[in-house]
Amino acid sequence: NVHKTFSTPHGGGGPGAGPVVVNNTLAPYLPVPRIVKEGDVYRIETQDEKSCGTILGSIGQVGVLLRAHAYIAAFGRNHLHKIAQDAVLNANYVLHRLKDAYHVPFEGLCKHECLLTDEFQNKHGIKTLDIAKQLIDLGFHPMTVYFPLIVHGAMLIEPTETESKATLDSFCDAMLDIAAQCEIGETQALHDAPVKPIRRRLDETKAARKPRLVW
């Protein structure tokens, strides 16, 4: 996927775009049309008797790939390396500030995202969802919740390279305040959150399983 490293959107479960690699045994079954290389020349192959045929979006989301290409061309190898370093630095900074207030399921440094759980807060009746909804009232877009699925009560925080230290500190301060509320038993606001948006706690599972869409 190109959504993080190369700046492309990730909302709505996608749009996914990236390389799909198969071996020579499976290659004949790939969709057509496809681009093949013969020597130093590229051509479009429109037929293959073993191909699965033509499918929608077989080469990914073109708009996303174009944006990724422009991003890579604009920054180049050296700047992309620095961007990656800053993203990793930001994630580890958040991890360092929050590691004593929230359970960290895996030891050591992280990459571009840090992973916490609600294990400490669960002892006071507070779950990951409560923490995420309280962040909305505090002016922050919540982190990814309950993913990865193998980690109970997961909170996956991906600050990216663009956030300043001041923004990271504001977020960390909010998370620390939430943890402190739990420790002293002041949890009602967390159960009630969010109270500021027009819509409160939506049935997100139902929205995903039975969407009501209008164009």
Please state the domain extents for the chain: 77-209
Condensed to tens digits (0 to 9), the pLDDT of residues 184-206 reads 999 999 999 999 999 999 888 89
Condensed to tens digits (0 to 9), the pLDDT of residues 144-182 reads 999 999 999 999 999 989 999 999 999 999 999 999 999
Please confirm whether the linkage preceding 33 is cis (ω < 30° from 0): yes
Give me 74's structure tokens: 């604009």
What CATH number is given for 77-209 in this structure? 3.90.1150.10
Contact assessment for residue 145 and residue 129, using Cβ atoms and an 8 Å cutoff:
yes
- Give φ, ψ of 155 to 5 degrees: -130, 110
Contact assessment for residue 155 and residue 115, using Cβ atoms and an 8 Å cutoff:
yes
d(CA 69, CA 58): 18
pTM of the predicted protein model: 0.81
Please count the helices (runs of H) and the strands (runs of E) in the chain.
Answer: 6, 5
Task: Mention every residue, 6+ apart, whose C-beta is less than 8 A from residue 64.
Answer: 2, 3, 8, 9, 15, 17
d(CA 96, CA 165): 13
